[in-house]
Structure 1
Amino acid sequence: MQIPWRTTPDVFAQILRRYRVEQDSVTDVQAAWGPFAEFMQVEIDGIDPTADSDADGFIVQWGRHSWNDGRLSLTFTRQLAIADIGDHDDPYRQPELWQLDLEMVFDDEADLIDLDQLDVTPLHAVAAQRADPTGFKFPPVGPLRAEALADTRAQAHRHAPIRSAWSALPTSSGLSFECVC
């Protein structure tokens, strides 16, 4: 069963709550990964069929950003290419890319300091062109996506700062859903 693309934040929030994880007060990154992996298996209606295999994917992102006062963050993202937006008669129309992010923010701790120094910080679509283990991945819903999620988690845990963030206590968290292009 597919869900309408506009309801994805609500559906993800419901899945988080079912796992006893509150979107605005994540206290366990590992506990948030389970609902994210489940949410990534939900089929979404409204995905642009012309975007081929790049219409629905995920990324694990990290870094420091101005919108959270330069504090370290770890983000689980689902990216969608949406079909039903814009002028369908425009021959140059491109699908809009929307991202649903669960961002978890951390205070600086010794184990986390190098998180923003890792060479694998895929924060932009350009990262899809690199061979980063946590870069954008677009496998179809089902076993291939489950395998890609497991591989991404394993790859992320090979980096000590990310592994530390996975077990650190976030100071804040939040769910956002916005157009990124």
Structure 2
Amino acid sequence: MANKAVFLDKDGTLIEDSPYNVDPQLVKLESGVVEGLLKLQAQGYQLIVISNQPGLAMGLFSVEELENLVVYFMDLLNQEGIELAGFYFCPHMPEGDSSQTACRCRKPKPGLILKAASDYDIDLSSSWMIGDILNDVEAGSQAGCKTVLINNGNETEWIVGRARTPDYMASNFLDASAFILDSPN
């Protein structure tokens, strides 16, 4: 039997957005994240982070620094009783950057979600993507998930389309998790 998951953007969704941060001292969980994640986990959702990390391609930090941050972040949540099943990141620049070829893993593409679904036997139609920008929504939609946009002011472009229309627009993480838990599977 396949598992269900909630795929989670990191910056601006789970933690306060601090661009290109790999310093654990600057990691601050968004309000309601612990309570929301505990409730989702209690209902059998695998919790998997899907994050764009272009700072790697830009040379702003190393893979080792990012991996150390991931360990810190997973330990922080674990201390609260939350177990992340996985943490996937895209190390590439946005497609418009001429210094690289297009990748399949950078949101709004669904590559990392599809890889995680394969790795953890996830039923995407029973799963959700929560993010703070429409690229997160599009990645989840393209992967076959239902989606929630946390409307916290981080989306500034509002380039809309069918794949970029969330199933729900939440005011915060706790609102997002409550909507998921109240939705029929």
| Interval of TM-score (by shorter of Structure 1 and Structure 2) | under 0.3
Structure with higher Rg: it is: 1
With structure 1 as the length reference, what TM-score do the two structures score? 0.24
TM-score, length-normalised on structure 2?
Answer: 0.23
- Quick one: higher RCO (CA 8 Å, sep 6+), 1 or 2? 1
